[in-house]
Chains A and B, each alone.
Chain A
Amino acid sequence: MNRYSQLSVLFSAVAVMLLSSCVHNPDVPVSSTEVQNTPDIFPDYCDVTVPCNIAPLNFMLSSEVYSACVARVSTPGGEQRIYGKGVKVQIPEEEWHSMLEVSKGKSLRVEVWGEKDGLWLAFSPFEIHVAEEPIDEYLSYRLIEPSYIVYGYMEIDQRNLTSFEERQVFNNKVACDSPKGQCINCHSYQNYKTDNMMFHARGTAGGTIIVNDGKLKKVDLKRDYTISSGVYPAWHPTAKLIAFSTNKTAQVFHTVNPNKTEVFDSASDLILYDVETDCVSVICSDQELLEVYPTWSPDGKSLYYCKSVPLPEDMRDKDIRTTFQKLQYNLFRRSFDLATRSFGEEELVYDAAMANKSVSLPRVSPDGSYILFAEGQYGCFHIWHHDADIVCITLGEEMPLRLDLSKMNSAGFSDSYPSWSSNGHWIMVASRRDDGNYSRVYLSHFKNGKVGKAFLLPQEDPEHNIYRLKSYNRPEFMVEPVEISVNEFSKVFPK
């Protein structure tokens, strides 16, 4: 062998070594003991229905029980791939997407082996059903500590749902010199697009940051005739209008109850903000009752919102801190005439109080046929209520039908903040089901009124869901990313 041949052999050997260290495709165990149940994987992706463009559903077995995990994924066409490193199964994005592509409308079969005390266990295989409907490519959420009053670092991030890319939209320190920073919240988009969007920045030099056809501005929504500046927003689907609630909010803390904290309003109304003219008009401002969480129907002709039910007479004069557990909200709507900017009479859509329940956070499906909301025993801040679940009812029928969401809701943990993907086939919720404290994003398939088993937002490292000690707050679908950089956003704040 001459010198060049030796070098090329050496180079090839190094290349093979490097490649083999990057991609780890193990073999399935030669011998194993069969176990008559599906594996207890985290996250639980057994028999879920997933979008045909979702990022790899990486998972793991508990490292406290198992020392290794191997998974064989088979496509309907018989192609098989084997993964596993330690107790984790992490699938390369390209391979995963090619498997999804050939499995649309069908299922992937997953066989899992776990090594326990030196012996391999072969679990019953499970399936991952691949829906033909894709999911919106992006998702944004606020990452916050599930704190009480004090907040540290918080950020609004956007995540590509087809990959694991996560980028920051804004954070609460970049534009603020105060040690307390700002509280940034309530990011909202018009029709899932980002050229018209907004979020609030409270505190030092705060305001509402609005992107209007890609142009940035910071506005103050407080007027003499409103009880606060705008709080919970809802963009009109076609016009440059945003409905907001205005709220006077307070908190108390439980001594025993695992709900940890109670957030309640002592006053709340609805306003309409005209982005073009900077005008604020009052939609409704009942002196006795509380209106909150506006949301538009997809055609923009109706505004849905929650409104409190009058308290029993003997409780009306009492301090709200002692009565708020009796405070319940029903779902209402008003018609809206875009030409005259006028709202019609109030109409009861769902009487939750009749069933001794309370609703919050309504969202109408893109086809206008269904409405999702969170429902708990009382109040309107259900993300801290362990009994809170998501409810979906039909619209346009005299007696609304309540869909079966048992595969999506968790038992004994808060499920809140529901939303629809732009095609109406995916429902997203913020749920504290993993540990009762840190909320996570769960997704469910929706087709013809049938709701699939919820699955956790996949992460490149499945353990990420455990060690990220932040809550995913206000998850919102987007069909495109926010292109404005953090630094550009920060320029709207005075230096």
Chain B
Amino acid sequence: MRQGRWVFLLSSIIFGVAVMLFFALAYPHHLHFQEQYQLFQFNQNYILGVLSLPGGVADLAGRFLTQFFLYAWVGATLIALVLVGIQYLTYRLLSQSHDDIFANALSFIPSILCCCFLCDENALMSAPVALLIVLGGVLSIRCIRAEEIRQILAIISIPIIYMLAGAFVIPYTLMLIIGEIQKESSLRVILISCGMLLVASLVPVIWHQFVHCSLVKLYVGPHYYRIPDDFAIWAWVAVGINPVLMLLSKVLSRWNPRNAFVVFVSSWGVLMLLGGMMVSKQQSQAQENIMAYDFMARNALWNRILQKAQAQAPRNQVAAVALNLALAERDMLTSSMFEFPQNGIAGLLPNFTSDYISPLVTSEAFYRLGMVNTAQRFVFEAQEAIPDFQKSARCYKRLAETNLINGAYEVARKYLQALQYTLFYREWATETMTLIGDDKAVEAHPEYGSLRKMRIDQEHFFGGNELHQILVWLLEANPKNKIAFEYLEASCMLVKDVEKVSRYYSYSEALGYKEVPSAIQQAMLLHWSQNHSVSDPLPSNVQANILQGFKNFYSTMQAHNGNPAPVKKLYGNTYWSYYYFN
């Protein structure tokens, strides 16, 4: 093929751009998700701590890259570069001649598999980086022409690659062996190959004497996947396929097709198509949606949450919590909450679960309500639940804030000091550090000052079952805490306690509502209907259209003998529908 080099380059560029566009446009919140579960610090202790484990260099480089995922486009570009890098090195490994079309087509397979791996929210960048190191290592050894020196260095390189890239040392060794056997298949080479395999299998055992990590983890990781005891299958397939590709490309290199360009383009096209299908199967838009809501709640993008929910109603707890928070922030919770699916109190302020995802968005709600201690607890616990024990920049930031609000300045200082070692939180941390010890400055701060005022002023215990009471205390401590009022009324409606909805409405006096929010009117009317006869005067704050709607709802319900489907179709966005059919 005459213009092989340019065609290969173009194929790599197209692949890289496709990867970048996928992660930037279809999967950006997975990148934000990754970034928030680590705290990359430019300090000696952090760096040495990561490097002290096998695979530490790959792990450190992976974490370094992941910090840029805070900005999805930058993260997507970095992933594209890493995957194109893997493709290029794989091509160098497989190519038997200058314009080896089959080697080039096959070289995309490990990158496509890595892309599938990265679709998993717990996949860590250390695995693709480790693959880069492994491929670089094999190519470096292969460059050495003197046979004996190459074979000696190959054996020496095994523990070094284990130190740099971790457990991928086994496929690394297989690649070296195949490379040697492809050059010469003598008894000596077979014996050397056995020696290499022995070294590769013993290296984790030797490390086991020095690191406090189980032997199994030393053989399979230790840090390619966030959940330490899970096996990073796609990453292993991506690296493990290389020895197979080496053999395959050797076989295919014997075939010299007449129209190489057509063969290359068609085989590359088929691979891209298959790769696209695999990625499409691996990626999860449901997870992406959850992460999007979490991201928007974290960044207080309330209008975006509302727009997203209006386009497609949220169907999971994290999204429901974020949506209800956005509604409350826009004073719309008690008027519009039933325009969206509600799943009880779990979609408003769910109880704590010991995982690292859902407590974060719940803590956002507690934080904005003024329940600073509870927000702090949820964030702290979420961070502790991160399966690979990393710390989280997002959590540290919030812990610094809650401690500042509480006046626990020395604790806040510790979190801020840690954040000062990061790339993207340094400026904020340094700026916020000026508030340490300065009560007046904290009180004057637009966010921390108002949250300090919003806190409950009397001591209580919170175990999760006292939600109504806590919200009442919040309102009593600060009658202008509108969000607490919205949550109080919403929580009463969600547990179908219409008597309390009517009773607690008295707290709205200081909040400047021009009219009673529509969902509250619906609940009040329901409560009135349960305790009064038709001849009794109606509650004065219920509007005529609400009354008419209630009459229509009842007559429709009676007409369909209580069958929920037709009633829900007409009145699914009312509190009455939630009350009777949820």
Contact A435/B463 with A253-B377, A467-B417, A469-B418 known, Cβ cut-off 8 Å = no
CB–CB B373/A467 < 8 A: no
| Nearest Cβ on chain B to A219's Cβ, whole angstroms | 22
Number of interface residues of A (CB under 8 A): 39
Q: Is A256 an interface residue (CB 8 A)?
A: yes
- Specify which of A149, A152, A262 is in contact with B389 (CB 8 Å cutoff): A152
- Specify which of A252, A434, A437, A486 is in contact with B461 (CB 8 Å cutoff): A252
CB–CB B377/A435 < 8 A: no
CB–CB B384/A145 < 8 A: yes
Q: Is A239 an interface residue (CB 8 A)?
A: no
How many pairs, one residue from A and one from B, have CB atoms within 8 Å of each other in the complex?
108
* Nearest B residue (CB) for A253: B462
| Nearest Cβ on chain A to B232's Cβ, whole angstroms | 15
Residues of the B chain whose Cβ atoms lie less than 8 Å from the Cβ of A258: 406, 408
Q: Is A33 an interface residue (CB 8 A)?
A: no
Residues of the A chain whose Cβ atoms lie less than 8 Å from the Cβ of B461: 252-255, 262, 321
Q: Is A298 an interface residue (CB 8 A)?
A: no
Residues of the B chain whose Cβ atoms lie less than 8 Å from the Cβ of A91: none
| Nearest Cβ on chain A to B500's Cβ, whole angstroms | 20
CB–CB B459/A435 < 8 A: no
CB–CB B381/A149 < 8 A: yes
> What mask results when residues 454 to 490 of chain B are scored 1 for a CB within 8 Å of chain A, else 0?
0111111111000000100100000000000000000
Q: Is A163 an interface residue (CB 8 A)?
A: no
CB–CB A467/B410 < 8 A: no
Instruction: Give residues of chain B (187-214) contacting chain A, Cβ–Cβ below 8 Å.
Output: 208-209, 212-214
Residues of the B chain whose Cβ atoms lie less than 8 Å from the Cβ of A180: 354
CB–CB B377/A148 < 8 A: yes
Q: Is B445 an interface residue (CB 8 A)?
A: no
CB–CB A256/B229 < 8 A: no
CB–CB A256/B228 < 8 A: no
Q: Is B387 an interface residue (CB 8 A)?
A: yes
Q: Is B411 an interface residue (CB 8 A)?
A: yes
Q: Is B371 an interface residue (CB 8 A)?
A: yes
Residues of the B chain whose Cβ atoms lie less than 8 Å from the Cβ of A174: 212-214
| Nearest Cβ on chain B to A251's Cβ, whole angstroms | 9
In the complex, A258→B460 CA distance in Å?
12
* Nearest B residue (CB) for A433: B410
Q: Is B414 an interface residue (CB 8 A)?
A: yes
Instruction: Give residues of chain A (142-162) contacting chain B, Cβ–Cβ below 8 Å.
Output: 145, 147-153, 155
CB–CB A152/B385 < 8 A: yes
- Specify which of B208, B374, B408 is in contact with A253 (CB 8 Å cutoff): B374
CB–CB A153/B389 < 8 A: yes
Residues of the A chain whose Cβ atoms lie less than 8 Å from the Cβ of B414: 435, 438, 466-467, 469
Q: Is B526 an interface residue (CB 8 A)?
A: no
CB–CB B459/A255 < 8 A: yes
CB–CB A256/B455 < 8 A: yes
Smallest CB-CB A-B distances: 3 pairs? A435-B410, A252-B461, A153-B389
B residues at A contact (CB < 8 Å): 43, 45, 208-209, 212-214, 227-229, 352, 354, 371, 373-374, 377, 380-381, 383-387, 389, 391, 403, 406, 408, 410-411, 413-415, 417-418, 455-463, 470, 473
> Can you list 23 A-B pairs, Cβ within 8 angstroms, ordered by A?
A147-B384, A148-B377, A148-B380, A149-B381, A150-B354, A150-B384, A150-B385, A152-B383, A152-B386, A152-B389, A155-B212, A171-B212, A177-B229, A178-B229, A252-B461, A253-B377, A254-B460, A255-B473, A257-B459, A258-B408, A435-B410, A467-B45, A467-B417
